[in-house]
Structures are given as structure tokens and as C-alpha cells.
Amino acid sequence: MTKLTTSACSALILASGSPRRRELLAHLLDDFEVVVSDVDESSAVTDPVRLAVKLAQRKAEAVAAAHPGRAVLGADTVVALGGRLLGKPADEAENREFTALLSGKTHHVTTGLCLVVGGQTLSASETTAVTFRALSPAETAHYAASGEGLDKAGGYGIQGLGMALVQGIAGDYSNVVGLPLGQTLELLRRGGVRTRWD
């Protein structure tokens, strides 16, 4: 467990080890704690929205079960190109394959959210369309060799070196980073969690 504050009992637990989600959530909350869920992320669900929400719920409920009485926020991001889901690449070769697949095309990034609070389970999702430039083989190889995309769905990070791959986006930028701030804020408010914005 990683604590972000000195509080013995923070108002909310973020059930995610993603440093990007942690940084984004800090824009909404002064006080929260991180507890990484180790739930199985395999699923037979192939619809990106349903899958993202299902995995977010699985993470939030697992952490909530171990921390009764606490509000827990889970999140999961899924990248889809047509009917194919692109998870985290296993290695540099697969990262190169993913980047080449995305080259010159528009794909969709969906983040599922789940808030477990006060005996209720609330969920939401956000989808953003991202279009890559047409990339040369040298560019896909260079990006894959950087290692930046290995821990990210779709094999790239839009907030880092990967922003050079992107031609444009339609929708919420923070969603592509890993946590859609507008949707998260509304979800927290629905659950009665006080934020910096209230």
C-alpha cells in the first residue's frame, strides 16, 4: 500500500497503481490513498465499454472488501482498433506491432470508472477517439525502443514521447492519459465524495 497523505484514514482509496491516475486524481482531491488491486484482469467480454467498466468494478470491489466503510474508486482503460482490443504490450516487439497497427488510423480509448461508497456501486465511462499520424517503420521502432508504452494499454502514452505519434484527438484528453477528470468529478459527486471543486 502506498499512502499519499499523512492521514490515517483518507476520504477515498484509489484502487490503481497507475502514477498517471494518481497525478490526475490529485487535481480533484486533496486527500486520498492508493491501494493496488491484484485482481485477475482476464475477461471474455469484448465490448470495450463493458470491459473497461467491468474491470474497474472488479478492482474497486476487491479493495472495498478489504477496507469496509471506505469509499473506493476503480478505473481501467481499454484501447480498441476496430474490433481488436490492444492491451499492454508484452515486449518491445509487440509494442512495435501495436504502434504500426495504429499508424494512420483512428482508434478509441475507453476508461471505465467504478465508485464503491456507502453500500452502493456507481459506474461511468468515457471514450475518446485518437488518430495517429502515418508513421514510418523507423518511427515505430524508435518509439517501441523507448520502453514508454510497455505498461500502457495500446502501447503508448499520450502525455510523454507518444504525443509525437498523435495527429489529433476528439474528446477528453485526460481520459487518454488514464482518468477522465470530468466524468470522475461527476461520479464522486454522485457518491457524496467531497472534492476540491465543491
Catalytic site positions: 76
Collapsing DSSP to helix, strand or coil, 21 comes out as helix
Q: Please, are residues 13 and 34 in contact by the beta-carbon 8 Å criterion?
A: yes
d(CA 72, CA 59): 9
Q: Please, are residues 184 and 21 in contact by the beta-carbon 8 Å criterion?
A: no
Residue among 187, 183, 192, 197 nearest 30 (CA):
197
Can you point out the beta strands (E) in the chain? 2-3, 12-14, 33-34, 71-81, 84-86, 106-117, 120-132, 166-170
CA triple 14-173-192, angle to 5 deg? 40
Q: Please, are residues 25 and 3 in contact by the beta-carbon 8 Å criterion?
A: no
